[in-house]
Amino acid sequence: MNSIERKMVEVLTDLRENHYVEGVKAEFEAEGTRMEEALRLKEVVSAAGLGLTLKIGGCEALRDMYEARVIGVSRVVAPMIESPHALKKYIQAVKLAFPDDELEDVSFCVNIETIDGFKSFDRMLDLEEVSELDGIVMGRVDFTGSLGLTREDVNSPEVSDMTKELFSKAKTKSLECAIGGGVSAETLPFLRMLGPELVDRYETRKVIFQCPEALHDSADNGILKAVGFELMWLKNKRDFYGSIAFEDKVRLEMLQSRYDKMIVKAGGVYE
């Protein structure tokens, strides 16, 4: 580990001990996490005594699932599940990618993040395969977009009412329910209104909080600390790839200064 990563461990340990954080999230989907990034993040997360959740690229993203096994994640989340067929394909892919003796160590969830997914949810719950599912995540930013609203509407009464309806249905199948998308201190009243019987977790871009414990009076401080962790992660990522980009800079400049005219004279080309 480098110095930033050691500090990240300290921040995550504080979040676990004082703000009821249960894990960290990476995305092969919208975030575009690369394998080497995920492995470095896994090392940091494990050192802090937390689990890693991985959002894969789609309902049948087998390659992502295989890599999730290599990384050693504790939870897999499939995005944009909008139909019973998509949910069925996801569960089939999970069974193909994960041996039976590994399934019990990993939770499998789906994102419901569009109005189409919301309208299809009753039919999803009618599937036999739903018994293989552990939970759902309400992705509020994409959900509001699908309603023709904006990110500023994630805490609106309309989204709150639809989330309550969605989670109430999910609980009839004993599914865990999480809130994601646009989570900030302003989200806390939204979460508290839903109540502990419906909300099991809430997620910032990188950090996952356990409910109802993480809805205490200093929850806003925990969210700000989570943003601080994300900033460190982004700086660490920038420095990591910056060092790779610099590796060949000296030799590139040496070759160019020594041979550029000779290459052109010989009829060669370089840019």
> Binning pLDDT at 50, 70 and 90, where does residue 14 land?
very high
Cα angle vertex 199, ends 197, 203, to 5°? 165
Quick one: tokens of 72?
Answer: 């050693």
Give yes or no for a contact between 33 and 27, defined as CB atoms under 8 angstroms apart: yes
Give the span between the Cα atoms of 84 and 62, in whole angstroms. Answer: 19
Give the span between the Cα atoms of 223 and 233, in whole angstroms. Answer: 15
As a whole number, mean pLDDT of residues 214-239 equals 94
Q: What is the pLDDT of residues 162-183, one digit of tens each?
A: 999 999 999 999 999 999 999 9
> What confidence score (pLDDT) does residue 79 get?
96
- Look up residue 123 and give its amino acid: R
Give the span between the Cα atoms of 233 and 63, in whole angstroms. Answer: 25
**Buried/exposed code over 180-201 (b: 16+ C-beta within 10 A; e: otherwise):** bbbbeeebbebbeebeeebbbb
Give yes or no for a contact between 7 and 44, defined as CB atoms under 8 angstroms apart: no
Q: What is the pLDDT of residues 19-66, one digit of tens each?
A: 999 999 999 987 888 999 999 999 999 999 999 999 999 999 999 999
> What confidence score (pLDDT) does residue 271 get?
66
* Domains of the chain from N-terminus onward: 3-265 (3.20.20.60)
Task: Give the distance, in angstroms, between the CA of residue 46 and the centroid of all CA atoms in the same chain.
Answer: 16
The pTM of the full predicted model, rounded to 2 decimals, is 0.90
- CA distance to 83, 217, 233, 236, 254, per residue, from 242 (Å): 42, 40, 14, 10, 20
